[in-house]
Amino acid sequence: MNKKELIDQIRIKKSFLCIGLDTDISKIPKFLLEFEDPVFEFNKRIIDSTKDLCVAYKPNIAFYEAMGAKGWESLKKTVDYIPKDIFTIADAKRGDIGNTSKKYAQTFFSTYNFDSITVAPYMGIDSLMPFLNFKNKWTIVLGLTSNEGSNSFQNLALKNGKKLYQEVIKVSSEWGNSENMMYVVGATKANDLKQIRKTLPKHFFLIPGIGAQGGDLKEVITNGINQDIGLLINSSRGIIYAGDQENFDLKSREEALKIQQEMSKYL
């Protein structure tokens, strides 16, 4: 999916919601365990109930690879089931170099046919170029994250007066462009988001941390929006685990609808 197609979907649906499919078999409704593939059945019902309210789905790869071959099978079925007009994100946070990086790119862009993948940039250009070399695919770079340990490195002050994450964002942005690169900025970093938007006026940002992690939706939108919206705001647990009974998918829809309706005010 290219940038224009993504923007068109945002305007058609009046939404820039991304739903994280962080599907944990120990947390899904128990009745689903009777199905041959409980994880896929859960994902399928979430997708069916929310596909008109979101523009992206983001499977967290760790939840699938932890299940071995069965998990990878569930992931493939899930990605194939997602409608083609919805943006797909492999939340894999890969960050190696050379042939290893090329194989990661091949895995998620060819074998699984994701539109995008999250990538760690701290090994430099070598870790991003194999992904950027794929046409009509997106590399989503970890820019500034919300986790408690992010201060260990990301906010270190450099001799040029910048913080480390600011230098990483500035330098890495020169390796691609706003048509094939996005950046992850945590929702709890809303104040920093305003400055990052000045540095990257045209790029899309993937914003995790809304809902269960405490990010404020209005604050994020105010600080991060651009003329193309330029945001994919993710909610995972707050939507997919909204219910734990047989009507869990309807509960998920209710939560997704609340966010979509708030987003529609900006479109």
Task: Tell me the residue length of the chain.
Answer: 267
Angle at 153 between CA 150 and CA 158, to 5 degrees: 135
Three-state DSSP class for residue 226: strand
Above pLDDT 70, what percent of the chain?
Answer: 98
Q: Which of 134, 154, 138, 135 lies closest to 146 in space, CA to CA?
A: 154
**What's the pLDDT at 224?**
95
Q: Which of 94, 100, 75 lies closest to 23 in space, CA to CA?
A: 75
Residue 146 has pLDDT above 90, yes or no: no
Strand partners, 21: 59
Q: Which residues of 245-265 are buried (b: 16+ CB within 10 A; e: fewer)?
A: eeebbebbbebbbbbbeebee
**What's the pLDDT at 103?**
97
**What's the pLDDT at 216?**
84
**What's the pLDDT at 159?**
87
93 annotated active-site: yes
Task: Name the active-site residue from 3, 44, 93, 103.
Answer: 93
State mean pLDDT over 22-26: 97
Question: What is the amino acid identity at position 105?
Answer: A
Above pLDDT 90, what percent of the chain?
Answer: 85
Per residue in 177-217, pLDDT (tens digit) is 999 999 999 887 778 999 999 999 999 999 997 765 557 88
Per residue in 157-177, pLDDT (tens digit) is 888 888 989 999 999 999 999
3-state helix/strand/coil string of 174-219 = CCCCCCCEEEEECHHHHHHHHHHHHHCCCCEEEECCECCCCECHHH
Q: Which of 228, 202, 169, 184 lies closest to 89 in space, CA to CA?
A: 184
CB within 8 Å of 201: residues ≥ 6 apart: 226
Given a contact cutoff of 8 angstroms between Cβ atoms, the answer to whether 131 and 139 are in contact is: yes
Q: How confident is the model at residue 127 (pLDDT cuts 50, 70, 90)?
A: very high
**What's the pLDDT at 151?**
79
Domains, the chain: 3-264 (3.20.20.70)
Q: Which of 247, 198, 243, 201 lies closest to 226 in space, CA to CA?
A: 201
- Could you give the CA distance from residue 182 to residue 201 in angstroms, rounded to a whole number? 11
Q: What is the DSSP string of 1-56?
A: --HHHHHHHHHHHT--EEEEE---TTTS-GGGGGSSSHHHHHHHHHHHHHTTT-SE
Q: What is the DSSP string of 141-162?
A: EEEE--SGGGGGTTTPBPTTS-
